[in-house]
Amino acid sequence: MTQASDLFSQAKKFIPGGVNSPVRSFSGVGGTPVYFDRAQDAYVYDSENKRYIDYVGSWGPMILGHAHPQVIDAVKLSAEKGLSFGAPTEIETRMAEKVCQLLPAVEMVRMVSSGTEATMSAIRLARGFTGRDKIVKFEGCYHGHSDALLVKAGSGALTFGVPSSPGVPASVAADTITLTYNDSDGVRALFAELGEKIACIIVEPVAGNMNCIPPAAGFLETLREVCDRHGSVLIFDEVMTGFRVDLHGAQGLYKVKPDLTTLGKIIGGGMPVGAFGGSRKIMEHLAPLGPVYQAGTLSGNPVAMAAGLKTLELIGAPGFHDKLTRQTAQLLTGLQQRADQAGIAFTTNQVGGMFGLFFSEEKTISRFAQVMQCNQDRFKRFFHGMLEQGVYLAPSAFEAGFVSAAHSDADIQATLDAASAVFNTL
């Protein structure tokens, strides 16, 4: 058994920051990242065989819990037949059919290999379809790391975006307009001025990358309305919410139909998969039918399709999401009680199997600015206390948490017992 600190030192020699995705480095909470060796059901086991109750679930995909036997069997069966062909396979059609059945706004879908690819391609399609360049996103939402989406707000309400990373050309960022999430008036004001130039709005219908922020009443409807009025494309980025907040996605839950939907995480059941889909009218603009180019060597990979399709089949069981929602509510109600007992200012958000924890005096958190004002020091100490107690939370105050179908009442109770002890030390 090798200690995480040794593994991390070795990794840092060969991998920038020791990790292949920045949040994994524990830069948000300090300390050495935990190295996982294996996972089963609601648990992850580290390199020293310590068990943790897992509320990250690989950042969302593991809605069934880890290593679900039927998913693993599907992967094994597929792998034995060969890993990749670069030619059409039947399972791609079965996957596409399933996605179209489940998501009200998807008539056709194209598979890719990550959420980043899905959103990048959807933006290109929206621009190609409308013949316009400007896109609108919201501060605090994350849509992967393609240039056009790695942009933050410039100063002043209606100024254009500035790159949020070196390497993103200012000229690319200038076409991305960043607004405030849940601010319908801001959206209307922008469209009144520039509506005819805007190709699309891309939005997380429940924000999950500034902790967890549900859409305010009327917000998604306003987006639909302005896009309809100005001929812009509405993109719901359901990489996180798809099949998570409801079997039919956020679009099913809130009954607002986007023109395009981007997917990832659960659709791959833990394998590298993304997808984008929408109305036939728009999707038919994609190559080879139409002029908007998009492609992928490993897109629709059969092993990944096997994991994803089996996952989608299993979560379609009657009552699956109701139970997931109840378990999540039980966790959050219990955490709130324990925090109150310990006299710690704390509040939570929940949509289905997705949740947010906030160390804040405010009872309702609905804006990015409020998330930024939460007590980060307390979060860090809570995170490390829980880790010590064998509970793995997202190592950042700005990420949503996830419950899986494998989290039992006993797991929730054990989590609450740990939280009682940790809240009392804060």
Judge whether 292 and 129 are in contact, CB under 8 Å.
yes
Where does this chain touch ligand PMP (CB under 6 A) — which range of 100-108, 115-123, 175-183, 368-376? 115-123
Shortest reach from residue 21's CB to ligand PMP, in Å: 7
Instruction: Report residue 303 as tokens.
Output: 């092993």
The residue within the footprint of ligand PMP, chosen from 78, 114, 349, 415 (CB under 6 A), is 114
At closest approach, how far in Å is the CB of 205 from ligand PMP?
9
Least spacing, CB of residue 150 vs ligand PMP, in Å: 11
Choose the stretch contacting ligand PMP; rule: CB under 6 A; options: 156-164, 201-209, 298-306, 335-343.
201-209
DSSP 126: H
Q: With contacts defined by CB under 6 A, name the span among 10-18, 35-43, 79-87, 141-149 that binds ligand PMP.
A: 141-149
Q: Minimum CB separation from ligand PMP for residue 149, in Å?
A: 8
Give the Cα separation of 194 and 232 in Å (integer): 11
- Which of the stretches 65-73, 113-121, 126-134, 367-375 binds ligand PMP when contact is defined by CB under 6 A? 113-121
Cβ atoms of 401 and 208 closer than 8 Å = no
Which position among 8, 52, 142, 236 is part of the footprint of ligand PMP (CB under 6 A)?
A: 142
Which residue from 61, 62, 7 is spatially nearest to 34, judged by alpha carbons?
A: 7
Q: What are phi and psi of 135, to 5 degrees?
A: -125, 155
Q: CB within 8 A of 358, min separation 6: which ones?
A: 211, 346, 347, 348, 349, 365, 370, 371, 374
Q: Is 8 left (phi over 0), alpha (psi -120 to 50) or beta?
A: alpha
Backbone phi and psi for residue 269, each to the nearest 5 degrees, phi listed first = 55, 20
Q: Which of 237, 246, 259, 411 is catalytic?
A: 237
Q: Least distance to ligand PMP from the beta carbon of 175, Å?
A: 19
Question: Among the options 43, 55, 142, 254, which is catalytic?
Answer: 142
Judged by CB under 6 A, which of 25, 89, 116, 328 binds ligand PMP?
116
For residue 265, indicate whether it is catalytic. yes
- 269: contact with ligand PMP by CB under 6 A: no
Asked if residues 306 and 91 have their Cβ atoms less than 8 Å apart, the reply is yes
- Using the minimum distance from each CB to ligand PMP, give the nearer residue, 116 or 350: 116
Residue type, 145: H
Which helix (H) or strand (E) element contains residue 307?
A: helix 302-315
Name which of residues 204 to 263 contact ligand PMP (CB under 6 A).
Answer: 204, 208-209, 237, 239-240
Closest residue by Cα to residue 263 from 374, 103, 155: 103
Question: 27: buried, middle or exposed (CB in 10 Å: 19+, 13-18, 0-12)?
Answer: middle
Residues annotated as part of the active site: 142, 237, 265
Sites of contact with ligand PMP (CB under 6 A): 59, 114-116, 119, 142-144, 204, 208-209, 237, 239-240, 264, 274
